Amino acid sequence: MAITELFPTLKNLSRADKLKVMQFLISELAQEEEDLNLKPGATYTVWSPLNSHEAAHQLAQLLESE
């Protein structure tokens, strides 16, 4: 269902139901935000250019071309 199809339905809701929809959406957004946060004790892979000779070569070419 497209969001534009929801607008007329949402517009016709009672004030109380509109507040419930807002609470639901805020809760969903908060949960998504929480899922993006780093978790204590978790291990995360971090890319590093250390020993990346190809990246160094590309950077050198870029600097020389300018």
pLDDT by residue (tens digit) across 41-61? 988 888 887 788 888 888 899
Q: Are 24 and 32 spatial neighbours (Cβ–Cβ below 8 Å)? A: no
Rounded average pLDDT over 17-21: 97
pTM as predicted: 0.52
Helix or strand holding residue 29 (H, E): helix 15-36
Locate the domains of the chain by residue range.
Answer: 1-36
